[in-house]
Amino acid sequence: MAVGIPEYRLPREPLFAEIEHIQRAGVEIRCNQALGVDFTLDDLLERDGYHAIILAIGAHNSRRLGVAGEEQAGVIHGTDFLREVALYTKGSQTAAVGGQFSKMISGKRVAVVGGGDVAIDAVRTAWRLGASEVHLIYRRQREDMPAHEEEIAAAQHEGTHFHFLANPLRVLGDGQVAGLVLQRQSLGDFDNSGRRRPMPVDSSEYTLDVDLVIPAIGQSTDISWLAAGGNGAHPRSK
């Protein structure tokens, strides 16, 4: 909650107060410990003597766009973007990271791809870091967006340019983002999500002049710790 939700939406003071209440109740919190790197499931059961383990590791891996050019500098995935900005606290050891993102965004034209809460959080955070333009690209219509309606309305009020029924085709640039080619979409038959499936419209490409692209089209769970038989032993730890 402290690194995935922007501070303007979840103030840190009450959040940290809740965490302190949990600690006072007797819960031990160990930070900077990665499953599969610093410990395994067997370690918790055998070495530390726990009787049960609950995995609540979230979904922090951002889905790729799957288009040409997305490996270039200037493509920053939404979960990474929000995490690094949230970790920035004046005077902390992560200040350089936060400052770097502020410089990277300030005065730049930003395109965010997606329609969920991460996408809207990235849009509104980019404004707060001083972006000159912020565009949101979504392949369906506004009423299909899974993000909270009040957050969508707030992003629109702040000046976000919405591109509905549009999908990225390729990222332009020679090592650094110089634009984003989009293709217009039309809605076809209903898919297994209960929404109409976007279909590309022939000869409908157009270019959006942007400096940064932030994909936020969904996340998955990092299960790399399962690599060695499921107990959390990561190859790097051997």
Q: What is the pLDDT of residues 119-169, one digit of tens each?
A: 999 999 999 999 999 999 999 999 999 999 999 999 999 999 999 999 999
pLDDT at 237: 43
**Would you give the end-to-end CA distance of the chain in angstroms?**
32
Stronger pLDDT, 46 or 234, i.e. the higher one:
46
pLDDT at 60: 87
Task: Please give the Cα distance from 31 to 38 (Å, whole number).
Answer: 11
Cβ–Cβ under 8 Å, residues 50 and 43: no
Band (pLDDT 50/70/90 cuts) for residue 53 is: very high
Give, as one character, the DSSP assignment of residue 199: E
Task: Please give the Cα distance from 214 to 118 (Å, whole number).
Answer: 10
Structure tokens, 108: 């730049």
pLDDT at 222: 86
Q: What is Dmax (Cα atoms) for the chain?
A: 63
- Rounded to the nearest integer, the mean pLDDT of the chain is 89
Residues constituting the chain: 238
- Domains in the chain, start-ordered, CATH in brackets? 1-57 (no CATH), 61-219 (3.50.50.60)
Band (pLDDT 50/70/90 cuts) for residue 95 is: very low
pLDDT at 89: 53
Q: Strands 212-215 and 109-113: what pairing?
A: parallel
Structure tokens, 145: 């967006």
Band (pLDDT 50/70/90 cuts) for residue 235 is: very low
Instruction: Check whether 238 has a pLDDT greater than 60.
Output: no
Q: What is the pTM of this model?
A: 0.86
Stronger pLDDT, 86 or 186, i.e. the higher one:
186
The burial class, CB within 10 Å (0-12 / 13-18 / 19+), for 45 is: middle
Give, as one character, the DSSP assignment of residue 140: S
Task: Please give the Cα distance from 2 to 16 (Å, whole number).
Answer: 9
Instruction: Check whether 72 has a pLDDT greater than 90.
Output: yes
Instruction: Check whether 231 has a pLDDT greater than 80.
Output: no
